[in-house]
């Protein structure tokens, strides 16, 4: 049985909108490269620069960098961000647009982040544009 992942509008650099194909999220971490970049490969320990949009599976957008008008940067693969990002982004190329479906155990778990609109045990979906490394 194939996994049905959300779809995202737009291309690299455009603020995406996410549509969900089913009410139920797939199991485990799912990573899909929506647009393949041509830059260097992101390696564990590098500080990456991204634009992103985050949404709970079937729910609303809880955060995105496009509306703030600025990218964010952080070390990847070293525990500074949620596990789904640490596992799903290394090995991708700069200039790529990546869709991540992140299960609760690699996101915010049973507590969620209620103040951000992330419920307990929420599956998170992110569209991430890998802009560069610092």
User: Is 115 domain-assigned?
Assistant: yes
Q: Counting beta carbons within 10 angstroms of the beta carbon of residue 116, is it exposed (0 to 12), middle (13 to 18) or buried (19 or more)?
A: exposed
Exposure pattern of 13-33 as b/e (b: 16+ CB <10 Å)? eeebebebeeeebbeebbbbe
Which pLDDT band holds residue 3 (cuts at 50, 70, 90)? confident
In a domain, 102, yes or no: yes
User: For residue 58, what pLDDT is reported?
Assistant: 84
Residue range 118-133, pLDDT digits in tens: 999 999 999 999 999 9
Residue 109 in domain:
yes
- Residue 84: band (very low, low, confident or very high) from pLDDT cuts 50, 70, 90: very high
> How does pLDDT run across 27-38, given as a tens digit for each residue?
999 999 999 999
The pLDDT, as a whole number, for residue 133 is 96
**Enclosing H/E stretch for 74:** strand 72-75
pLDDT band at 104 (very low <50, low <70, confident <90, very high): very high
Residue 94 lies in a domain: yes
Residue 93: pLDDT over 70: yes
Instruction: Determine the structural domain holding residue 38 and report its residue range.
Output: 7-133
Residue of higher predicted confidence among 59 and 92: 92
How many domains is the chain built from? 1
Answer whether residue 2 is part of any domain.
no
Q: Is 102 helix (H, G, I), strand (E, B) or coil?
A: strand
- The CATH code of the domain that includes 73 is 3.10.50.40
**105 domain-assigned:** yes
pLDDT at 101 over 70: yes
Asked, for residue 1, whether it belongs to a domain, the answer is: no
Radius of gyration of the chain (CA): 14
Pick the more confident residue, 105 or 1. Answer: 105
């Amino acid at each position: 049985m194939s996994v049905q992942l959300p779809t995202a509008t737009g291309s690299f650099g455009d603020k995406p909108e996410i549509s969900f194909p089913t009410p139920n999220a797939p199991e485990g971490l799912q990573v899909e490269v929506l647009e393949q970049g041509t830059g260097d490969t992101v390696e564990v320990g590098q500080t990456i620069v991204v634009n992103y949009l985050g949404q709970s599976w079937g729910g609303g957008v809880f955060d995105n960098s496009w509306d703030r008008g600025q990218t964010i940067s952080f070390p990847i693969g070293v525990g500074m961000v949620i596990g789904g990002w640490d596992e799903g982004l290394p090995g991708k190329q700069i200039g790529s647009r990546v869709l991540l479906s992140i299960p609760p155990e690699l996101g915010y778990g049973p507590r969620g982040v209620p103040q951000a609109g992330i419920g307990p045990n929420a599956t998170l979906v992110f569209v991430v544009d890998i802009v560069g490394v610092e």
